[in-house]
Amino acid sequence: MTISHSGSIPPPGRRQFTENLLQTPAVLVFLFLLASPAGWAHDFWIEPQAFQLQPGTKAPLRLFVGQDFKGDSVPYFPQKYERYIAAGSTGTQSIRGVLGDDPAGTVMPSTAGIYTIGLHTKPESVSFDTAEEFESYLEKEGLERNLALHRQRFKPGKKIEETYFRCAKSLIKVGTVVTGRDRVLGFPLELIAETNPYHTRTLRLRLLYQDRPLSDALVVAFSKTEPTAKLKGRTDVNGRVEFIIPRPGVWLVTSVHMVPAPFLSGFDWKSAWASLTFERP
């Protein structure tokens, strides 16, 4: 498997600083892990320092890449972001930070309610050397529906090229209120909590792709304390799936969607990776 990176060129005044920063071990690890969906580090999630806080309290945000809630934190790197935002009762704001900082930004909600943190990354790419490697990847991520078309299109001796991006969200509760809701951020692939996980054990989710319900997609939920005890379900025709969250703690929900890449794009497949974190009281 081979990975590659893409990104914008920084302004001249910051170019030397950025070039020096790119040589630091933390950023090199970040660039490798962020571009490795098929290996051990396929999950990407937002983990606030606190999921429940009072108005006016700062909540540092950490970004992680790994598997089973184990992984490496990655620094603030805006060249890799399409949108990095916080949405709440007072509106939507961009999340700012200092290049290379970990935590990767901070939010400080001023009023009570449920706030949605969201990060949509720019495209990266990965290549698979063999058909067996790619097919194993499809089966692992619940993308079996792509197997038939892959076998029809695959040419022996040619690498399989994939482009992909991440759509991560996190829900934080501010104040003592139990009411509130997740926000639809308009990400290309988006997990939306239609019930409030801070209020009820029943988590009903809707999965949208390009603003339309995505059916028959695998959705996986697991807790930080018992990450191997995974809850799995497939979305219905309306893009909905429902879980009973059995235990308190921090939870991560994930889903992946893959389609053939556009003609002349230079890639065979295009995928999107969605995640959602929250804490069940």
> What tens digit of pLDDT does each residue of 206-263 get?
999 999 999 999 999 999 999 999 999 999 999 999 999 999 999 999 999 999 999 8
Strands (E), the chain: 2-4, 43-48, 52-53, 59-67, 70-74, 81-88, 91-94, 106-107, 113-121, 124-128, 160-174, 189-193, 202-209, 212-213, 218-223, 231-234, 240-244, 249-260, 269-280
Q: Higher model confidence: residue 157 or residue 236?
A: 236
CA–CA separation, 194 vs 179, rounded Å?
A: 12
Lowest mean pLDDT among 28-32, 98-102, 190-194: 28-32
Asked if residue 265 has pLDDT above 60, the reply is: yes
| Apex 255 CA angle, 228 and 197, nearest 5 | 75
Segment 71-95, tens digit of pLDDT: 999 999 999 999 999 999 889 999 9
Question: Do the beta carbons of residue 214 and residue 239 sit within 8 Å?
Answer: yes
What is the DSSP secondary structure assignment for residue 248, as one 8-state letter?
A: -
What is the DSSP secondary structure assignment for residue 122, as one 8-state letter?
A: P
The one-letter amino acid code at 100 reads: G
CA–CA separation, 138 vs 47, rounded Å?
A: 27
| Three-state secondary structure call for residue 29 | helix
CA–CA separation, 112 vs 173, rounded Å?
A: 8
Segment 135-153, tens digit of pLDDT: 999 999 999 999 999 999 8
High-pLDDT (> 90) share of the chain, %:
79
User: pLDDT category, 13, cuts 50, 70, 90?
Assistant: very low
Question: Do the beta carbons of residue 120 and residue 83 sit within 8 Å?
Answer: yes
> Which pLDDT score, from 0 to 100, does residue 157 have?
86
- 34's torsion region: left (phi>0), alpha (psi -120 to 50) or beta? alpha
- In the chain, the largest separation of any two C-alpha atoms, in whole Å, equals 59
Counted domains in the chain: 1
CA–CA separation, 265 vs 263, rounded Å?
A: 5
- Our CA dihedral for 202, 212, 79, 66, rounded to 10 degrees, sits at 40
234's tokens:
């497939």
Which is nearest to 242 in space by CA: 187, 198, 204?
204
Question: Do the beta carbons of residue 169 and residue 181 sit within 8 Å?
Answer: no
Question: Do the beta carbons of residue 78 and residue 56 sit within 8 Å?
Answer: no
Q: Which domain holds residue 269?
A: 2-280
What is the DSSP secondary structure assignment for residue 80, as one 8-state letter?
A: G
